[in-house]
Amino acid sequence: MRTTAGLLIALCLESSFLLAVRGADATMTIPPQTDDGLDPVNLIFTGYAPAWWVLQNFNGWNPTPCSEPKTLSGKTYDFTLETPDTGGQIPPCYGPRFHIRVWDTGLDPVLGQWSIGAAHHETSVCNPFPFCKHVIDGWEIAEREVRSTFAQNSATVSVSSYTLPNSGLYQNYYNDGNATLIQVSRPSTYPVRLTETGLRPGTSWSVTLNHTTLSSTSESVLFSEPNGTYAFTVAPINGYTSIPASAILQVSGNPVSQLVGFAPLEYSVSFSKSGLAPGTTWSVILDGISQESTEKSITFEVSKGTHLFTVQNPPGYKSNPSGGSLVVNSNTTVRVSYETTIQPTSSQPSASFFIYATIAAWAAVGLAAIITVARRRKLGSGDDRTISE
């Protein structure tokens, strides 16, 4: 917590301090502290110092994943950096480290495009490890680190001090009110960023601009060019079309951004069946996507390239082909023939047939025997008669 003196200072600085820079009737307003009253403004960047250009001149500093939200005159900071790089630590951002936030304050007729910042040094207090928190332990030491960074930078015109009425205690550490004033020259080149959408993550793509080709597997390709007019072309990617495939860019003293959209080249792949009884449901899986139908054809829309398929068989059928891979570079039809796997009924006599046939045969034999015996008896009785005269 801040001391009573710190609170009084914060109340006194509730309204912004006006830094009078007379010339062309211009007056620059410098907020003395962040909106929460916890951080003093201790950096002023002038000359040609939009936030994007200031960022590029923080050599040796790194983006930080650990920076709490902070506003200045209601505006969120444009970038935040740290040194040394603590992003890969476990836990991340474990200090000690220098930490800075910078706000772009726009265009002033006298000071040009300018920005302001708040920098501090902090350490980590753990109770116990790894349950740690950041504790600020200095403002002036952070200013010295920023001065050292820009003193070695070719874009720096001058480094000096400017007194702001914000001296006092902030988060229990004293700020002397002498902000570091850094004048920055215009860059000889400006960033030209081309950003893609539509490609699968990790897909390599490339752009040629001003006879230089850059490739990337991330979403952006970044060039650095002086003022001028430049044509660029996007290298073709198998299975995709790019919009635009080429265009003209104008660099005029500011960064340039260009969006490149990729869309898959789509072709139809139709599977046409034969050999199934009408109304039979059949299905095909292509690249893990299943479709079924009772109609003659099943159609997919796919990009150019190699695709895997499997034909699902209805009960009692087998298919040819049953699956495989397709190289698609145009509309394609795959013919699927079905054959039944049910065996036809046998024409051999059954066991019951033999039983009945045997019974019938024996019955016939028996009947024939009875008839024979009866005839013999009849004939025998006829021979025994005597005729008298």
Q: Which residue has the higher pLDDT, 275 or 342?
A: 275
Q: What percent of the chain has pLDDT over 70?
A: 84
How far is residue 12 from each of residues 15, 41, 163, 166, 386, measured CA to CA in Å?
Answer: 8, 15, 16, 9, 170
In this predicted structure, the answer to whether residue 189 has a pLDDT above a threshold of 80 is yes
Which one, of 18, 51, 16, 20, lies nearest residue 37 by Cα?
Answer: 16
In this predicted structure, the answer to whether residue 82 has a pLDDT above a threshold of 70 is yes
CB burial of 228-247 (b: ≥16 within 10 Å; e: otherwise) equals eebebebeebebbbbeeeee
Confidence of residue 341 (pLDDT cuts 50, 70, 90): confident
Q: Which residue has the higher pLDDT, 266 or 337?
A: 337
Confidence of residue 373 (pLDDT cuts 50, 70, 90): low
| 177-181 own/partner pairs: CB under 8 Å, 24+ apart | 177/40, 179/41, 179/42, 179/43, 179/44, 179/143, 180/42, 180/43, 180/44, 180/143, 180/146, 180/147, 181/44, 181/46
pLDDT of residue 11: 35
In this predicted structure, the answer to whether residue 53 has a pLDDT above a threshold of 90 is yes
Residues forming beta bridges with residue 51, ordered by sequence position: none
pLDDT of residue 67: 86
Q: Dump pLDDT digits (tens) for 92-127.
A: 777 789 999 999 999 888 778 999 999 999 988 887
Residue type, 359: I
**Domains, the chain, with CATH or none:** 4-184 (no CATH), 190-264 (2.60.40.10), 266-340 (2.60.40.1120)
In this predicted structure, the answer to whether residue 313 has a pLDDT above a threshold of 60 is yes
Confidence of residue 382 (pLDDT cuts 50, 70, 90): low
